[in-house]
Structure 1
Amino acid sequence: MKRKSLIALLLAATVAATSMLPADALAAPTSTKTKKTKKPAKKAAAPASDYYTGEFVNYNQWKEVQQFAGDMVAKHGFSRAELDSLFSNVRYLDSVVQLVKPAPPGKPKNWSVYSSRFIEPIRVNAGVRFWNENADALARAEALYGVPAETLVGLIGVETIYGRDTGRFRVVDTLTTLAFAYPLAPNREARMAFFRDELEATLLYARQAGIDPLSLQGSFAGAVGMPQFMPSNILKYAVDFDGDGRIDLRNSAADAIGSVAAFLVGHGWHREQPGALVYPATVSPSRAWETYLTGGLEAKFRPEDLTAAGVVTTSPLPPGMLYGLVDLQNGSEPTEYWVASNNFYAITQYNRSYFYAMSVVELGRAVRLSRGAN
Structure 2
Amino acid sequence: MPMKTLITALLLSAATLSAAAAPVDRYGYTLPPSMQKKKQPAAPKKKAAPAVDYVGEYVNFGDWQEVRAFLDDVAARDGFERAELNALMAQIRYVDSAVQLVKPAPPGKPKNWQAYSKLMIDPVRIDAGVKFWNENSEALSRAEALYGVPAEIVVGILGVETVYGRNTGRFRVLDALTTLAFAYPEAPQRRERMAFFRGELESTLLFARQAGVDPLSLKGSFAGAIGMPQFMPSSVIKYAVDFDGSGKVDLLNSSVDAIGSVAAFLAGHGWQREQAGPVVYAATVSPNRAWEPMLGRGLAATYRPQELVAAGVTPAVAPPEQLYGLVDLQNGAEPTEYWLANGNFFAITQYNRSYFYAMSVVELGRAVRLARAAAGVSSGM
Distance 1:240 1:50 in 2: 30
Shift of 1:358: 0.5
Provide the residue aligned with 1:367 in structure 2: 368
Q: What TM-score, normalized to structure 1?
A: 0.87
Distance 2:218 2:372 in 1: 33
After TM superposition, give the deviation of residue 25 of structure 1 in Å.
2.3
Q: Please give the alpha-carbon distance, in whole angstroms, between the structure 2 residues aligned to 1:117 and 1:98.
A: 21
Q: CA deviation at 1:355?
A: 0.7
Aligned to 1:253: 255
Equivalent position of 1:352 in the other structure? 353
Aligned residues: 338
Deviation, structure 1 residue 204: 0.3
- Aligned residue for 1:271, secondary structure, equals coil
Deviations 1:113-139 (A, max 9, x none): 010001111110000011011111101
Asked if structure 1 preserves the Cα contact closer than 8 Å seen for 2:3 and 2:235, the reply is no
Indicate the larger mover: 81-90 or 58-67. 58-67
1:195 to 197, 219, 222: 197
Cα deviation for residue 50 of structure 1 reads 4.7
**In structure 2, distance between residues paired with 1:110 and 1:182:** 27
Partner of 2:100: 98
- Alignment match of 1:184 (pick from 183, 186, 191): 186
More deviation, 144-153/62-71: 62-71
Q: CA deviation at 1:186?
A: 3.3
- Unaligned 5+ segments in structure 2 are 11-26, 29-49, 376-381
SS in 1 for 2:356: helix
User: Per-residue deviation at 1:330?
Assistant: 1.1
Q: Distance in 2 between the 1:234 and 1:159 partners?
A: 15
Matches within 5 A, 1:214-229: 214-229=216-231
Residue 294 of structure 1 aligns to a residue whose secondary structure is: coil
Post-superposition Cα deviations, 1:327-350, rounded to whole Å, max 9, x if no partner, equal 111111111111111101100111
Distance 1:56 1:24, change over 3 A: same
1:176 CA drift (Å): 0.6
| Paired residue secondary structure (2:111) | coil
Q: Counterpart in 2 of 1:121?
A: 123
Whole-Å Cα distance in 2 between the matches of residues 344 and 186 of structure 1? 27
Displacement of 1:294 after TM fit? 2.6
1:242 to 236, 241, 244: 244
| Paired AA for residue 308 in structure 1 | A
Q: TM-score, normalised by structure 2?
A: 0.85
- The structure with more helix, counted as a fraction of residues: 1
- Determine whether 1:22 maps to 2:4: yes
How many angstroms apart in 2 are the aligned matches of 1:132 and 1:27? 29
Percent identity between matched residues is 67
Sort the Cα spacing of 1:338 and 1:100 in 2 relative to 1 into closer, same or farther, 3 A.
same
Distance 1:322 1:224, change over 3 A: same
Once residues 237 and 120 of structure 2 are traced to their aligned partners in structure 1, the CA distance between those partners, rounded to angstroms, is: 28
Aligned CA-pair RMSD: 1.9
Q: Structure 1's 317 and 26: CA in aligned 2 closer, same or farther, altered over 3 A?
A: closer
Query: Which one of 281, 284, 289 corresponds to residue 287 of structure 1?
Result: 289
Q: Which of 99-108 and 131-140 deviates more?
A: 99-108
Report matched runs for 1:1-374 at 5 Å: 22-26=4-8, 50-319=52-321, 321-374=322-375
Q: Which runs of 4+ in 1 moved over 6 A?
A: none
- Distance (whole Å) between structure 2 residues aligned to residue 49 and residue 365 of structure 1: 31
